[in-house]
Structure 1
């Protein structure tokens, strides 16, 4: 089998189109392109295993000075804070941030990565569900690939995370130490997302060490029924003793809080409240909410400084995976101070 490198001319010839048409496809310029032509080019690229070399060319001195940030959802507080922190460091250094949203859809993420392969992007910072690791591996041969928030087995990438397990363990220990007899942990299905599985494991290990039965509830965000079922489960326990509710992230807390408020329980005496994450709206909650503050700004700044250093010294694909963990901080609010003797901080939810 020939080891000859496949060129854009080879793709054009096999697809029976011009080189210009293939170039437009690689740059996601589909305006004057029929669906049949687009599909044919895509199939030929896959069959020939063609890899555009625009990224490698950019590294030889013709950088675009563009950094791609690929996130699941732009409205997530974590993503907003991360983008802001990256921009605050990269923009003054003369780099532009290009933001892409995937909605957690593997196909959409694959399309985004394919488009980036055809661009002279200088680096990719991505929050991924892990469905396109082969594509990320290919990109890492030419430019830095930084996985943020979630860890996957990607050998030649840098992972920037927080200590999800340790922070969740500390949070749950705090709730039991305050005197709550039961702690309900509310999460989405972990699947292969390390963030979710590590936080849940921290909760489970704390419950085991404190000799308390675990109460894990799996919910679907956007599904009011699943949230209401959790509230009904909690009702049974609240009538018997002190209970705390701990959500795996602030997005879940944001959805379930109005239902708890409607029941009219008092915090922290009737129901303790805690969450992982510290969104912008946290100060609207009364009493003050116990939460885990992720070092999102620090993560963004760390990534930006790493990229600037790599651009300065010249990028080489890492020989092995590097994991950088920045610690989170437990913020103890009034919403879980069950051990207080003065009876304060018991406002109605």
Structure 2
């Protein structure tokens, strides 16, 4: 993606017919010696030019704050909480504290947190992006803000990104079920709107695996693949198990989906793994103690967290490559009793 030239204070000053120091005073709300007409003129130009004050750039002139902001799309995910713990521990070893913000899958909250952390003069950002704030992400890049994306890749945004090889994860899940004689494998995920990359990639890996293992081209993708809100997944499961050809294998697209699947199967008295085998992409803390114990596809959380921390430290210190890299980590099968 080609970087667009950011509008500067100098551009605003030129178009408003005032000095850069006057614009700076306006931005810092120092109006004591500024006429009302000058204030209105600057305000109008800022609006017309869609000028965004570069808080991070101004902070570069100040001493480092030893703060890094972490904005997580949804802190309910096991990956989010566990990888943040690893990142925090690594950054604290370097004397850096973290501020953790949960966007709760809300792009508006994400923007507010980005701007708030900029105002707090953090040295950099690690973002689990919600996926839709392209203009805000591009602004960070244009302003050369130290930033790392975690878990999700945003199309068209060139930034260092750390995430799982999601296609490999679902391919591994399907292959594991096929090896155990499961012939009708369903996959359930949360919605794929907002182009949330892990969900899209996991679905793609599922389709590729079924195509690889099944010569029958009539394999019923629409029937067996369901993407819905967490509250809507129960209805999808009802439909699948009312079918004449019930699934004998289920892949839960993430840890939150797994809870919905287990709740439904328990409510309906459906036996795991006798009637249906279950695999979750994302390991969970209760996998070993659940009965039967749960087969999962785990993410290498420690390695991923250390990589993200290492990248942001390198960027802050100014010795990181200017060429963004997407770091994909291999999934790990944790075979237990649910399949």
Q: TM-score range by the shorter chain?
A: 0.7 to 0.9
Aligned-partner Cα distance in 2 for 1:11–1:178: 67
Superposed counterparts of 1:1-349, under 5 Å:
4-6=10-12, 9-10=22-23, 13=26, 18-19=29-30, 45-60=46-61, 62-140=63-141, 141-191=143-193, 192-211=195-214, 213=219, 214=221, 215-223=224-232, 226-237=233-244, 243-312=248-317, 314=318, 318=322, 320-336=323-339
**What are the Cα deviations for residues 161-187 of structure 1, in whole angstroms up to 9, with x where unaligned?**
111001111110111121012001111
Q: Structure 1 3/59 Cα, relative in aligned 2: closer, same or farther at 3 Å? A: closer
| Structure 2 residue aligned with 1:343 | none
Aligned-partner Cα distance in 2 for 1:72–1:2: 30
Q: Aligned to 1:281, what secondary structure does the other structure show?
A: coil
Return the offset for 1:259.
1.6
- Would you say the 8 A contact 1:73–1:102 is kept in 2? yes
Aligned-partner Cα distance in 1 for 2:253–2:313: 33
Q: State the TM-score, normalized to the length of structure 2.
A: 0.82
Q: Structure 1 202/145 Cα, relative in aligned 2: closer, same or farther at 3 Å? A: same
Aligned-partner Cα distance in 1 for 2:105–2:59: 29
Q: Structure 1 130/232 Cα, relative in aligned 2: closer, same or farther at 3 Å? A: closer
Return the offset for 1:42.
9.1
Aligned-partner Cα distance in 1 for 2:129–2:53: 22
- Would you say the 8 A contact 1:228–1:259 is kept in 2? no
Q: Aligned to 1:160, what secondary structure does the other structure show?
A: strand
Aligned-partner Cα distance in 2 for 1:143–1:242: 48
Q: Structure 1 11/62 Cα, relative in aligned 2: closer, same or farther at 3 Å? A: closer
Return the offset for 1:282.
2.2
Aligned length: 310
Return the offset for 1:296.
2.1
* Structure 2 unmatched runs, 5+: 1-6, 13-19, 33-41
| Structure 1 residue aligned with 2:38 | none
Instruction: Tell me the C-alpha RMSD between the 2 structures.
Output: 2.9
**What are the Cα deviations for residues 177-226 of structure 1, in whole angstroms up to 9, with x where unaligned?**
21012001111222211101110111111111222623112221134xx4
- Indicate the larger mover: 283-292 or 109-118: 109-118
